A and B are shown apart, each in its own frame.
Chain A
Amino acid sequence: MKLNPAYAVGLAALVALPFAIRAVFPGSEKYYLHIVIQMLLWAQIYTGWALMGRFGLTSLGHGAFTGIGAYVTVMLWNFAGLTPLIGIPVAIVVAVALALLIGYPSFLQRIRGHYFALLTLAMVEFVRLCIVGLRDFTGGSLGTQPARYGDGISFYAVQFEADRMIAYFVALAVWLAGILVWVRVDRSMDRFALEALGQDEEAAAAVGINVTREKLKITALSAAMCAFGGAIFAQYQMYIGPDTIAGFGVSLNIVFGAVAGGIGVMLGPTIGALFTQLLSEGLRMFFQGSVTLNAMFGSRVLSLDTLIYGVLLVLFIIHMPRGIVGTAMEYWRKHKRGS
């Protein structure tokens, strides 16, 4: 794969970023690095969702895959002493198995659109309820923590939260892997097949595309990416809870982050993650700092950012259905042609 010079510069900037943060904010580098790490980890998960979302397969159930990734890995580590180096692949296999189990019959039955969205919604609720129900192991709705190994930095235990520098490069590698998967898919024949069937399944089948097979392939890949992302996210947070990594709310956040950025382009979901994280952090800091608002609402002021987030999402979907990156690219293309 040839590397576009612009991408090379961008990548170099990303490698230099943590050192720049360390130099500029010596006192609070941990906080800023934390925000960037979260951004990268969510960006990978959003990218995984968009992999299938861009072809009209709108799943509201990807919280199930991130949840399985996180919980299977941590349960194997806590109760069987199995290193996440093996646990994460096992978790990915479980997530892919679930994706195929749900995907195969629904693609055979031609369940699409609303129905597919609501079916996957039932799937994520089922997984969340199983997690809560197995509370003897999972800690129920309170969540649990992976057992800390040594001083919290370990390759064997895949624990890196204690050192934000290491955590940053882990997150960067995970995100980059996600982008590479996206590029692979984008340049494959499967992409054309999926684009065709995304527009008209019957016509795609008529020209010889194996519709069910193509859909299953992309669903499995997407589930695997989200399970991987969920597992790494758990290892970084050192905490897993059914509502932070597995529920319907997580699914919605994934979908909206990706849609806000733009699901049809490589960096769309990443920009979506950047946008949503900056928005929520920025609004949170602004509202916490505002004396008037605090006097008016007290600690409830924290929900103001979700309120604005909700309004923005509605505006995005009405006015910019292609997302930030998609709209920007369209504008740029028109502009260039016009001049």
Chain B
Amino acid sequence: MTCSLDIFFLEAVLNGILLAGLLALLSLGLNLVFGVVDVVWICYAELVMIGMYAIFFAYSTLDLPLPLAMLIGITFTALLGVALHMIVIRPLLDAAPINQLLATGGVLFLLQAAATLAFGIEFRNIGVHLGSASLGDMFFSWGRIITFSVALATMLGLRYFLRHSYLGLAILALSQDRHVMPLMGADSRRLYAATSALGGGLAGLGAALMVLQFDIYPQIGLQFGPLIFMVCVLGGLGNMLGGFVAALVIAQFITIGSSCFATEWGYAIAFLFFILMMFIRPQGLLGARS
């Protein structure tokens, strides 16, 4: 395939913006947890994968209506987020950061194996096809359009929650100073658990949108995980607006690269860009230099 400024190129650009919505949404939960608890959940994409399987199970096996199935998936990953925090992160809160990261890496193996054990390695699909919208000669799948809208709404909603609710303000304050806030009477243990639930729930929301577009298989986390981390770090870990901008940039590299060359090269260029940006702006695109 060649690269020229035609209608396909425009379609790729617009599809890139839609893909950015998904990446931004997926990075939101990870960013929140990192910003507040100061831990990188390396198994975050596996939480999304488990959420996808939960929705698949509720919808296809239990025959529940799709919205209810999605709600179950979101609740399940939220609980999983709390469990992850209580069982794995809490004993390691004072350990070296890298040990926290490695422990969640163990959880990555665990979740992948659990999913394989329960569902096998076959590709699963909930079989819901939303079709696509046409605009001139260009086609955009409704799944992607919905995903983008939900991502935007979630980002604004989370921002509102953090700025205007009691719990949100407490979480925000804790993220700004995790040593002084407990002295002010905030229960950091509860706030961490609440943040983890929120982070897990956001992973579930990402899963609910991903089942509309992608097949489900145990390894899908390894496909998406590195991308999500890249978006978070590029935006500045803990910086949610930065995450959105980074998602837009990364998604453009992927879609334009994929439409000009082959899919892998789109991703490879995105990773290369990320590495170069780390050297130029290690604090992230929108981060302030400390």
B278, A111: Cβ atoms closer than 8 Å: yes
Binary CB contact string for chain A from 126 to 144 against chain B (1 if under 8 A, 0 otherwise): 1001101100000000000
Taken together as a complex, chains A and B put the C-alpha atoms of A115 and B40 apart, in Å, by: 10
A307 in contact with B110 given A109-B282, A300-B117 (CB within 8 Å):
yes
- Which residues does chain B contribute within 8 Å of A46, judged by CB atoms? none
**Interface assignment of A118: CB less than 8 Å from any CB of chain B:** yes
Binds A, one of B88-96, B126-134, B139-147: B88-96
Task: Assess A126 versus B275: contact at CB under 8 Å? Given A117-B101, A247-B222, A303-B117.
Answer: yes
Binds B, one of A69-77, A162-170, A174-182, A252-260: A252-260
Interchain CB contact under 8 A, A313 and B109: yes
Taken together as a complex, chains A and B put the C-alpha atoms of A102 and B279 apart, in Å, by 9
Query: What total count of A-B pairs have CB within 8 Å?
Result: 143
Asked if A255 contacts B271 (CB within 8 A), the reply is no
Interface hits, B254-290 → A, CB 8 Å: 261-262, 264-265, 267-268, 271-272, 274-275, 278-279, 282
| Cα distance, A310 to B121, chains bound together (Å) | 18
Q: Which of A56, A106, A311, A318 contacts B92 (CB 8 A)?
A: A318
- A104 CB to nearest chain B CB (Å): 9
Tell me if A82 counts as interface (CB < 8 A to partner B): no
Which of B108, B121, B275 makes the CB contact (< 8 A) with A252?
B108
Q: Are A125 and B110 also in contact (CB < 8 A) when A317-B92, A318-B88 are?
A: no
Name the A residues within 8 Å of B229 (CB-CB). 118, 121-122
Produce 1/0 per residue, A31-64, CB < 8 A to B.
0000000000000000000000000101000000
Bound Cα distance from A305 to B109, whole angstroms: 10
List, in ascending order, chain A residues with CB within 8 A of B88's CB: 314, 318
B113 and A310 within 8 A (CB): yes
Q: Smallest CB-CB separation from A114: which chain B residue? A: B40
Q: Does A249 contact B (CB under 8 A)?
A: yes
State the CA gap A298–B223 with chains docked (Å).
26
Q: Say whether B226 contacts A317, CB under 8 Å.
A: no
Known: A133-B268, A321-B95. A307 touches B102 (CB 8 A): no
A316 to B226, CA, bound (A): 24
A129 to B91, CA, bound (A): 36
* Residues of A with C-beta under 8 A to B282: 109-111, 115
Query: Nearest CB to that of B284 among chain A residues?
Result: A115
Question: Is there contact, CB below 8 Å, between A123 and B275?
Answer: yes
CA of A121 to CA of B42, assembled, Å? 11
Give bound CA distance, A130 to B87, whole Å.
38
Hey, what's the 0/1 contact readout for A298-339 against B, CB within 8 Å counting as 1? Answer: 001101111101111110111001000000000000000000
For residue B187, give the distance in angstroms from its CB to the closest CB of chain A.
Answer: 23
Known contacts A114-B97, A255-B105; decide if A119 and B275 are in contact (CB<8 Å): yes
User: How many A residues face the partner with a CB closer than 8 A?
Assistant: 48
The number of residues on chain B lying at the interface, defined by a beta carbon within 8 Å of a beta carbon of chain A, is: 48
What is the distance, in angstroms, from B177's C-beta to the closest C-beta of chain A? 19
Main secondary structure of the interface of B (DSSP, over half): helix
Rounded to whole Å, the gap between the CB of A215 and the closest CB of chain B is 15
The CA-CA distance from A118 to B229 in the complex, in Å, is 7
Q: Once the chains are docked, how many angstroms separate the CA of A324 from the CA of B106?
A: 16
**B268–A129 CB distance below 8 A:** yes
| The residue from B102, B112, B230 contacting A256, defined by CB atoms under 8 A apart | B102
- The CA-CA distance from A130 to B275 in the complex, in Å, is 15
A282 interfacial contact with B, CB 8 Å: no
B271 touching A114 by the CB < 8 A rule? Answer: no
Given A105-B279, A307-B117, A311-B106 in contact, is the A122-B226 Cβ separation under 8 Å? yes
By a CB distance below 8 angstroms, the chain B residues around A81 are: none
Alpha-carbon distance A307/B113, docked complex (angstroms): 5
CB of A25 closer than 8 Å to a CB of B: no
Contact of B233 among A105, A118, A247, A316 (CB under 8 A): A118
Q: Please, which residue of chain A has its CB at the minimum distance from the CB of B110?
A: A310
Contact of A306 among B109, B274, B275, B279 (CB under 8 A): B109
Q: Smallest CB–CB gap between A260 and chain B, Å?
A: 10
Answer yes or no: B98 CB below 8 A from chain A CBs.
yes
Chain A contact residues, CB within 8 Å of chain B: 56, 58, 102, 105-106, 109-111, 113-115, 117-119, 121-123, 125-126, 129-130, 132-133, 247-249, 252, 255-256, 259, 297, 300-301, 303-307, 309-314, 316-318, 321
* Ranked 7 nearest A-B pairs via Cβ: A310-B110, A313-B106, A310-B109, A306-B113, A307-B113, A303-B116, A129-B268
